[in-house]
Structure 1
Amino acid sequence: MAQANIQLIGALRETAARLRNGAAYAWGNHGACNCGNLTQVVTKLSKEEILAYAHTGIGEWTELAEDYCGTTNAPAGLLITKLQEIGLTPSDIHNLEYLEDKAVLQRLPGGFRWLKRNVREDVIMYFETFANMLEEELINSINIPVKSFFYSKQELVVC
């Protein structure tokens, strides 16, 4: 499962906002599909640059993620590295491309339902729901000891 962190949450939200505001979207294009749009946000590469890198590997995002080898430094591997650096696993990459993570789908507004991987509105809803889920996980992981809210008279120094 993805590592909940501010960078990943922000990238998912920015991707959803860009799609909502008319960013190029084509599920069959490595540079403009679900993962392609997220990769644009993460790497600041254009959809054309991502497409060129992705075509150095074989297959769709799912295959690129599964075949990734961290020691080869192949250009397609660079894209996968960037997605992994923000906390995604190969399974997460697959689920983002196909909108299939049941944990995310169960948290959709209105309840569980299957989404269509190539429908812009479904992608936006999935990315936003995934970001919300990770944000909740991140907030719940923060442990602040109660005593840190209090101070002794000795700790209070007025200059």
Structure 2
Amino acid sequence: MARPTPELIDALRRTAANLKNGAHYQWGHMGGCNCGNLAQELTKLSKDQIHRYAMQRHGDWNEQAEDYCSTSQMPIDVIINEMLSAGLTLEDLKHLEKLDDRQVLLHFPLEKRHLKHNVRDDVVAYMRTWADLLEDQLLQKITLPTFDELVLS
């Protein structure tokens, strides 16, 4: 599961909002699919740039994640590296394309867990839920001193 970072949580929420508000969505387009839309937010590249870079190597996001090499300097690997730096894992990319991360799906009501990976509204719901889950994890890591600790110091 992704490392909860403010940057990633914000990017997931902005991506979900963009999709909700009509941003280009095409599951078969490397720059306009689930991962492609998130990559746009994290890298500030256009959908066409992301697609063009991805097409320099074979495969969808799942295969791109499998073939990822942190030192290759291929443009798609540079994009993936930026996404990983924001807190994602290679497994997260695979799960995002299929909307099938079990930890995320467990936060949906039982009757709503069967998301379709290429349906815009399902992608929006998945990203929003994932962002909320990551935010909860981030907040659990924060500890503030109590009043007594401050007074005694």
TM-score w.r.t. the length of structure 1 is: 0.90
Q: Which amino acid aligns with 1:91?
A: E
Q: Distance in 1 between matches of 2:56 and 2:147?
A: 55
Percent identity between the two aligned chains: 46
Gaps of 5+ in 1: none
Matching residue of 1:76: 76
Structure 1 residue 65, shift from structure 2 partner: 1.0
Structure with bigger RCO (C-alpha 8 Å, 6+ apart): 2
**SS of the residue aligned with 1:150?**
helix
The Cα RMSD (Å) is 1.5
Q: How does 1:1-159 map to 2 (within 5 A)?
A: 1-108=1-108, 110-111=109-110, 113-146=113-146, 150-151=150-151
2: CA distance between counterparts of 1:148 and 1:4? 30
The verdict on how the C-alpha distance between 1:148 and 1:87 changes in structure 2, with shifts beyond 3 A counting, is: farther
Q: Which amino acid aligns with 1:100?
A: D
User: CA separation in 1, counterparts of 2:148 and 2:101?
Assistant: 38
What is the identity, as a one-letter code, of the residue corresponding to 1:113?
R
Count of residues in correspondence between the two structures = 152
1:59-92 per-position Cα deviation (integer Å, ceiling 9, x unaligned): 0001111111111111110111111010111100
Query: Which has the larger helix fraction?
Result: 2
Task: Structure 2: give runs of 5+ residues left out of the alignment.
Answer: none
Which protein shows a greater Rg? Answer: 1
* SS of residue in 2 equivalent to 1:73: coil
Task: Give the residue type in structure 1 aligned to 2:74.
Answer: A
Alpha-carbon distance change, 137 to 148 in structure 1, aligned in 2, over 3 angstroms: farther
Q: 2:141 corresponds to which letter in structure 1? A: S
Of 52-61 and 21-30, more deviation after overlay is shown by 52-61
Q: Normalization by structure 2: what TM-score?
A: 0.94
Residues 148 and 27 of structure 1: is their aligned pair in 2 closer, same or farther, counting only changes over 3 Å? farther
Does 51-60 or 4-13 show the bigger shift? 51-60
Separation in 2, partners of 1:58, 1:27: 16
Compare 96-105 and 143-152 and name the one that shifted more.
143-152
